[in-house]
Amino acid sequence: MSDRMQIDDPVLWPYWEAAQRHELKVQRCQACGHHQHYPRPFCLECDHDALDWVAVSGRGTVHSVTTVHIQLLPELKPPYQVALIDLAEGPRLVAGITGPACAIGDAVSVVWRERDGLPPLPDFTTVA
Ligand SMILES: [Zn+2]
């Protein structure tokens, strides 16, 4: 889950700028209102190129989850979970799971994982 290439992409700067404030933002199309993630220079629904950045609730549902058992990065000690999260606003994103193991369908909420020299990453944790 290296994000160095993404951080260097100007399309993603508003995303990382918001992350510095622990604010999860996605793009919303000015023409059709579609929310999307990952960020792109145009709307995936209608191809319009006027997109706003809007804060989302940080709440979602686990669409799919897997457990990683091998060490891929020095800072991530296995085992840990990586999930596809369906945000309440619609977009789906990949994120790590912090706290108790989660299962498909679980309600989750964003928590921020601090990193040395890089913007914080949105992880998710199960909520009651
Ligand atoms: Zn659109």
CA distance 88 to 59: 6
Give the Å distances, CA to CA, from 46 to 39, 43, 67, 86: 15, 6, 36, 21
Q: Please tell me the predicted confidence (pLDDT) of residue 2.
A: 44
Cα 36 to ligand 1 centre (Å): 9
| Per-residue tens of pLDDT for the chain, all 128 residues | 444 446 678 888 999 999 999 999 999 999 999 999 989 999 999 999 999 999 999 999 999 999 999 999 888 899 999 999 999 999 999 999 999 999 999 999 999 999 988 899 999 999 98
Cα 12 to ligand 1 centre (Å): 18
Mind listing the pLDDT tens digit for each residue in 67-98? 999 999 888 899 999 999 999 999 999 999 99
Q: Please tell me the predicted confidence (pLDDT) of residue 6.
A: 65
Q: Enumerate residues with CB within 5 Å of ligand 1 (an ion).
A: 29, 31-32, 34, 43, 45-46, 48
pTM of the model: 0.88
